[in-house]
């Protein structure tokens, strides 16, 4: 029968839509109102010191819109005006300096796109398949284009001799919020690619991501990307703050813990189909898509398995991978409507291949909490529904 | 510098922000305290989340105990069992605690609280003095429990020339675990959430119906008692808000709670236990509320409220008087 959506004149084809300025700063159309951050309320005691998850299952491309990029606060998201913002550089520099926000905008700027992944992403899955959705298993990640000033530039402004021997020097960075969330970073990284950023995806940072200024520490765990950045101290030793001793350390099966596990290893996940994104169209052409990233460099290859890891085929990268940024991959198949155990496996430019969960557990046990970059399995059923499973 | 931007930081500005303390004690302020000094402070400012004996409340951090658990499933990581440096305790408490009132403690208070936490872990004696002088004498039990990231050696086999593409497993693949069996995933769609909140709203109405008859007439509370109650309420504040604009947090907002039906604060997701009690017509009379606050988990098995309870009868009376002033 003819489709009335075509044969009958629809209201939107006859009447008028909304005028300009109806929403001076727009939100997504109401039909997309399920594409939002969500938290898992049993994970933490309170939403003030907590985390939520990016709806990665519903996104495509590589850039994460700020409005749905996950949040992680230790003492809540503060409101700090640009006018009240101060950044101090002190410690082992010639002249301790204070910058205003306006000062920062006068230094030569760079733009770079990087992923930020919380070290605890996928942490709930160490002991077994637990949360049923890519948003919850892999959503502590976002990927944005940052504008900012290289940290090296600011350190040189304070008189740090970056040509000298700084191999035993560190920086200690902290935020202006009550948690301060201080972290120590070796000088080599600080001078390499760390940015002091004030714009993301072209506009001001959001409050929840550290407005007006945050640190960007490419490829390293998200906790080090200090928000509401207020101080950078040059030191001759790591401070060993709460966030780098009692947290963000990885306990192995024998009770010994790794510290300074800063780099995020290569990882990937299929975002659709997935538990929140069932196949609704039945057999036939099917786009399998997901994202891959590595803190060690660019993603060079992603393979996809439809049979739980017995056989693999190369996926197509949406575009060539950028270093320390999300890469989108696709596998376009003709689905026959039978069950699948779908997995993705990333390889980065250093030759690191994303391991299976069993391979990770063999080295680390099940108590590490952080840095779980295992291969994820979704069981896609004949009716198109998908479930988070573990396989032999 | 090359750009001539920024200005020199003044010594008092550096002093105000440069608070971090290194493992070797660099940055420690002068001062001292004992566990004995710290006990009351801890009870007033820390115990609501961390428990009277630093044993932790609900999902808030456990600060004491856990020795010998690091090589077991679900290790208990506390200051005593896990933290390698004492400097971290002092540094963190001074800068970031108590939760919601950071940087309100004197340096001596922080020494006393640090001493109390160490005492709770049997690392210091009750009357032993912790100061910037004695700091370096304390040995942390797990000081040798850490190694520097060794992934590039220990996990060298994850770097491969060519990933496996065919016959990558020895036996046919089988599902060994399913997430849906646990059923711990939050509801997924906005539609489902809306339906759930409508349902909850319907339940609220049901619970409110008998309430009008049973609402309790309240006498004006004693102002001194109310003031005392405001102090006691500090133990509740991390989870419960009162006053104008109070919103639900970890616990429901408590405006008008005294004399009103249980489980009826709009928009709060109560435990099944509280919903059942509400359906049975429980009303928060001062007597019922008092019994609940004395031992929440004994009073109502399965309540989400993780607070251990108020031991002192006077404190219970005071906090109820305080709460009764909010409509």
pLDDT in tens, B12-64: 999 999 999 999 999 999 999 999 999 999 998 999 899 988 988 888 999 99
Residue B188's pLDDT band (cuts 50, 70, 90): low
Cβ pair B3:A256 closer than 8 A: no
Is residue B259 pLDDT above 90, yes or no?
Answer: no
What's the rounded Cα separation, in Å, for the pair B307 and B293? 8
Q: How many cross-chain Cβ pairs, A to B, lie less than 8 Å apart?
A: 269
Chain B CB contacts of A91 under 8 Å are: 18
Is residue B189 pLDDT above 90, yes or no?
Answer: no
Cβ pair A239:B20 closer than 8 A: yes
Mean pLDDT on A233-250: 97
Q: Which of B279, B144, B292 is nearest to B202 (CA)?
A: B279
pLDDT of residue B311: 74
ipTM: 0.95
CB nearest to A46's CB, from B174, B186, B238 = B238
Cβ pair B173:A309 closer than 8 A: yes
Mean pLDDT on B300-304: 76
Q: Shortest Cα distance from A7 to chain B (angstroms)?
A: 30
Test the B interface: residue of A246, A253, A308, A391 with most B CBs within 10 Å:
A246
What's the rounded Cα separation, in Å, for the pair A333 and A273? 12
What's the rounded Cα separation, in Å, for the pair A110 and A318? 25
pLDDT of residue B135: 95
Residue A296's pLDDT band (cuts 50, 70, 90): very high
Is residue A93 pLDDT above 90, yes or no?
Answer: yes
Question: Using omega within 30 degrees of 0 as the cis cutoff, is the peptide bond preceding B119 cis?
Answer: no
pLDDT of residue B148: 98
What's the rounded Cα separation, in Å, for the pair A158 and A98? 9
The backbone torsions φ and ψ at residue B198, rounded to the nearest 5 degrees and listed phi first, read: -60, -45
pLDDT of residue B216: 38
Cβ pair B169:A392 closer than 8 A: yes
DSSP 3-state assignment of B146? Answer: strand
Question: Using omega within 30 degrees of 0 as the cis cutoff, is the peptide bond preceding A236 cis?
Answer: no
pLDDT of residue B126: 96
Is residue B184 pLDDT above 90, yes or no?
Answer: no
Test the A interface: residue of B3, B4, B6 with most A CBs within 10 Å:
B6
Mean pLDDT on A99-113: 98
What's the rounded Cα separation, in Å, for the pair A145 and B207? 51
Minimum CA–CA partner of B161 in chain A = A351
Q: Shortest Cα distance from A113 to chain B (angstroms)?
A: 25
pLDDT of residue A48: 87
CATH architecture of A73-258: Alpha-Beta Complex (3.90)
Q: What is the mean pLDDT of chain A?
A: 97
pLDDT of residue A387: 97
Residue B306's pLDDT band (cuts 50, 70, 90): low
Q: Shortest Cα distance from B278 to chain A (angstroms)?
A: 22
- Considering chain A, tell me which residue range(s) the CATH 2.60.40.650 domain(s) occupy: 267-389
Is residue B211 pLDDT above 60, yes or no?
Answer: no
**How many C-beta neighbours within 10 Å does residue A177 have?**
21
Mean pLDDT on A237-260: 97
CA atoms within 13 A on the CB side of B186: 19
- Considering chain A, tell me which residue range(s) the CATH 3.90.420.10 domain(s) occupy: 73-258
Test the B interface: residue of A139, A241, A343 with most B CBs within 10 Å:
A241
CB nearest to A257's CB, from B146, B165, B174 = B146
Is residue A77 pLDDT above 80, yes or no?
Answer: yes
pLDDT of residue B219: 57
Of the ranges A268-277, A378-387, B202-211, which one carries the lowest mean pLDDT score? B202-211
Chain A CB contacts of B93 under 8 Å are: none
CB nearest to B179's CB, from A129, A178, A230 = A129
Mean pLDDT on A164-190: 96
Q: Shortest Cα distance from A210 to chain B (angstroms)?
A: 18
Mean pLDDT on A110-137: 96
Is residue A314 pLDDT above 80, yes or no?
Answer: yes
pLDDT of residue A87: 98
HEC string of chain A? CCCHHHHCCCHHHHCCCCCCCCCCCCCCCHHHCCCCCEECCCCCCCCCCEEEECCHHHCCCCCCCHHHCCCEECCCCCCCCHHHCEEEEEECCCCCEEEEHHHHCCCCCEEEEEEEECCCCCHHHCCCCCCCCHHHHHCCEEEEEEEEEEHHHHHHHCCCCCCCCCCCCEEEEEECCCCCCCEEEEHHHHHHCCEEEEEECCEECCHHHCCCCEEECCCECHHHCCCCEEEEEEECCCCCCHHHCCCCCEECCCCCEEECCCECCCEEEEEECECCECCCCCCEEEEEEEEEECCCCCEEEEEEECECCCCCEECEECCCCCCCCCEEEEEEEEECCCCEEEEEEEEECCCEECCCHHHHHHHHCCCCCCCCCCCCEEEECCCCCEEEEEEC
What's the rounded Cα separation, in Å, for the pair B31 and B22? 17
- Domains identified in chain B and CATH numbers: 11-137 (1.10.760.10), 190-323 (1.10.760.10)
pLDDT of residue A340: 98
Q: Which two tokens stand for residue A294?
A: 């590595």
The DSSP secondary structure of B1-42, one letter per residue, reads -TT--SEEPPHHHHHHH-----TT-TTPPS-EE-HHHHHHHH
Q: First-to-last CA distance in chain A?
A: 49
Cβ pair B166:A311 closer than 8 A: yes
A377-380 vs A313-314, strand pairing mode: unpaired
Is residue B150 pLDDT above 60, yes or no?
Answer: yes
For domain A267-389, which CATH number applies: 3.40.50.460, 2.60.40.650, 2.40.37.20, 2.60.40.420? 2.60.40.650
Is residue B213 pLDDT above 70, yes or no?
Answer: no
Chain A CB contacts of B58 under 8 Å are: 45
Quick: pLDDT tens for B219-247: 577 888 888 888 888 778 777 888 887 87
Mean pLDDT on A5-17: 97
Test the A interface: residue of B8, B9, B14 with most A CBs within 10 Å:
B9
**What is the distance of C-alpha B291 from the center of its chain?**
23
DSSP 3-state assignment of B283? Answer: strand
What's the rounded Cα separation, in Å, for the pair A372 and A118? 11
What's the rounded Cα separation, in Å, for the pair B195 and B46? 39
Largest CA distance in chain A: 80
Mean pLDDT on B206-226: 53
């Amino acid at each position: 029968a003819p489709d009335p959506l075509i044969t009958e004149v629809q209201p939107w084809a006859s009447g008028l839509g909304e005028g300009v300025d109806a929403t001076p700063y727009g939100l997504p159309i109401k039909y997309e109102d399920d594409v939002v951050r969500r938290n898992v309320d049993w994970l933490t005691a309170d939403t003030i010191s907590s985390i939520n998850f990016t709806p990665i299952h519903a996104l495509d491309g590589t850039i994460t819109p700020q409005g749905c990029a996950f949040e992680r606060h230790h003492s809540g998201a503060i409101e700090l005006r640009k006018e009240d913002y101060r950044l101090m550089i002190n410690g082992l520099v010639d002249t301790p300096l204070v910058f205003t926000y306006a000062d920062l905008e006068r230094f030569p700027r760079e733009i770079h796109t990087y992923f930020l992944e919380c070290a605890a992403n996928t942490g709930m899955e160490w002991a077994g398949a637990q949360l049923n959705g890519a948003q919850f298993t892999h959503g502590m990640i976002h990927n944005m284009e940052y504008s900012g000033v290289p940290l090296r530039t600011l350190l040189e402004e304070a008189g740090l001799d970056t040509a000298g021997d700084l191999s035993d020097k560190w920086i200690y960075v902290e935020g202006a919020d009550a948690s301060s969330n201080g972290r120590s970073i070796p000088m080599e990284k600080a001078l390499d690619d760390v940015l002091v950023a004030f714009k993301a995806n072209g506009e001001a940072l959001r409050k929840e991501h550290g407005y007006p200024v945050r640190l960007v520490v490419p490829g390293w765990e998200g906790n080090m990307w200090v928000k509401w950045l207020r101080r950078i101290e040059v030191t001759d030793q790591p401070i060993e703050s709460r966030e780098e001793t009692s947290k963000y350390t990885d306990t192995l099966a024998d009770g010994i813990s790794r510290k300074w596990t800063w780099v995020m290893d290569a990882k990937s996940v299929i975002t659709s189909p997935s538990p929140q994104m069932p196949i609704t169209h039945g057999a036939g052409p099917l786009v399998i898509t997901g994202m891959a990233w590595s803190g060690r460099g660019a993603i060079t290859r992603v393979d996809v398995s439809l049979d739980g890891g017995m056989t693999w085929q190369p996926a197509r990268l949406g575009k060539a991978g950028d270093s320390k940024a999300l890469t989108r991959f696709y596998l376009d198949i003709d689905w026959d409507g039978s069950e699948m155990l779908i997995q993705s496996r990333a390889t980065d430019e250093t030759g690191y291949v994303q391991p299976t969960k069993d391979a990770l557990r063999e080295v680390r046990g099940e108590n590490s909490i952080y840095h779980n970059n295992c291969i994820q399995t979704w069981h896609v059923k004949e009716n198109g529904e998908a479930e988070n499973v573990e396989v032999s | 510098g090359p750009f001539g931007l920024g200005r020199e930081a003044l010594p008092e500005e550096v002093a105000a922000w440069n608070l971090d303390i290194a493992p070797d004690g660099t940055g420690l302020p002068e001062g001292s305290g004992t566990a004995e000094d710290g006990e009351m402070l801890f009870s007033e400012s820390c115990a609501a989340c961390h428990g009277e004996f630093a044993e932790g409340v609900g999902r808030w951090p456990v600060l004491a105990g856990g020795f010998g658990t690091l090589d077991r499933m679900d290790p208990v990581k506390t200051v005593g069992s896990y933290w390698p440096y004492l400097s971290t305790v002092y540094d963190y408490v001074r800068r970031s605690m108590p939760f919601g009132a950071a940087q309100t403690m004197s340096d001596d208070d922080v020494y006393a609280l640090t001493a109390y936490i160490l005492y709770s872990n049997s690392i210091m004696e009750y009357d032993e003095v912790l100061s910037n002088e004695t700091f370096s004498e304390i040995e942390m039990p797990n000081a040798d429990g850490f190694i520097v990231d060794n992934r590039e050696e220990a996990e060298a086999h994850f770097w491969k020339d060519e990933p496996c593409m065919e016959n990558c497993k020895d036996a046919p693949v089988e599902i060994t675990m399913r997430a849906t069996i646990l059923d711990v995933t939050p509801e997924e769609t906005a539609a489902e959430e809306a339906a759930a909140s409508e349902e909850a709203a319907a339940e609220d109405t049901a619970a409110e119906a008998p309430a009008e008859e049973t609402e309790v007439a309240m006498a004006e509370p004693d102002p001194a008692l109310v003031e005392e109650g405001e102090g006691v309420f500090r133990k509740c504040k991390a989870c419960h808000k009162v006053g104008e604009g109070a919103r639900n947090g970890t616990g429901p907002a408590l405006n008008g709670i005294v004399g009103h039906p249980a489980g009826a604060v709009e928009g709060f997701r109560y435990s099944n236990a509280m919903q059942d009690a509400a359906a049975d017509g429980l009303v928060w009379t001062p007597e019922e509320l008092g019994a609940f606050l004395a031992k929440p988990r004994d009073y109502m098995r399965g309540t989400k409220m993780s607070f251990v309870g108020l031991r002192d009868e006077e404190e219970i009376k005071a906090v109820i008087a305080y709460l009764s002033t909010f409509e």
